[in-house]
């Protein structure tokens, strides 16, 4: 079973392979979020504890689960929107993406922290920093690929490049604001992230007009 001979270019990692690894890591990170919810098992003594008390006591963890799942989904969408335009890879773009995946895989841990230490300034800053770095890396990914149309089609519209940058700035800006607010109102920080999908659906931040 022979494969058709591919061109002997120096660097050989196609965008398809990066997308496959990214899909895998996103899928696993999103599914591992649920492990933060695992509760003490009913084997010894917990039987008479009221289950609905246990579940209600984790209400904030369910909120975190939904929130983080959505945030990771948004990043996953951005990843595919960027790679829809990125036609080639090089060594630097590859490393930007490895760091993106490193911070994607860290998200279940950050969610665990923020779920176990509710209202803690340190926890909120840790979580926000994870998102801040992710957001900045996505900006870097897009800026590097589109600079002088380095790795995108030469026909790609300038307007679309700038639109992509603008969209990618939403999350870092929100995360930076959260880091400041975490010193004053740590218990309300997580709600701010809900602004991200709302802002990105506004006209100037939408993917297409």
- Pick the binder of a copy of itself from 2, 59, 184, 202 (CB under 8 A): 2
Determine, following the binding rule CB under 8 A, whether residue 59 of this chain makes contact with a copy of itself: no
Determine, following the binding rule CB under 8 A, whether residue 194 of this chain makes contact with a copy of itself: no
Please list every residue from 28 through 57 that binds a copy of itself, using CB under 8 A. 28-34, 37-39, 41-43, 46-47, 50-52, 55
CB 189 within 8 A of CB 181: yes
Of the pair 15, 175, the CB lying nearest a copy of itself is at 15
Please list every residue from 68 through 127 that binds a copy of itself, using CB under 8 A. 69-70, 73, 76-77, 80-81, 84-85, 87-89, 91, 94, 98, 101-102, 105-106, 108-109, 112-113, 116-117, 120, 122-123, 126
Q: How many residues bind a copy of itself (CB under 8 A)?
A: 81
Please list every residue from 143 through 182 that binds a copy of itself, using CB under 8 A. 153, 155, 157, 160
């Amino acid at each position: 079973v022979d494969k058709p001979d591919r061109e002997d270019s120096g660097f050989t990692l196609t965008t398809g392979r990066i997308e496959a690894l990214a899909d895998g890591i996103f899928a696993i990170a999103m599914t591992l979020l649920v492990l933060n919810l695992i509760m003490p098992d009913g084997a010894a003594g917990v039987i008479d504890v009221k289950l609905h008390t246990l579940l209600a006591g984790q209400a904030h963890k369910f909120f975190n689960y939904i929130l983080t799942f959505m945030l990771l989904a948004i990043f996953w969408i951005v990843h595919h929107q960027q790679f829809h335009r990125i036609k080639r890879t090089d060594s630097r773009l590859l490393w930007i993406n490895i760091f993106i995946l490193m911070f994607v895989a860290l998200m279940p841990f950050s969610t665990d922290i923020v779920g176990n230490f509710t209202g803690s300034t340190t926890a909120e800053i840790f979580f926000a920093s994870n998102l801040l770095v992710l957001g900045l890396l996505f900006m870097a990914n897009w800026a590097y690929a589109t600079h002088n149309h380095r790795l995108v089609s030469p026909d790609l519209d300038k307007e679309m490049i700038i639109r992509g940058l603008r969209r990618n700035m939403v999350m870092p800006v929100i995360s930076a604001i959260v880091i400041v607010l975490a010193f004053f109102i740590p218990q309300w920080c997580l709600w701010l992230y809900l602004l991200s999908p709302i802002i990105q659906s506004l006209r100037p931040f939408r993917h297409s007009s």
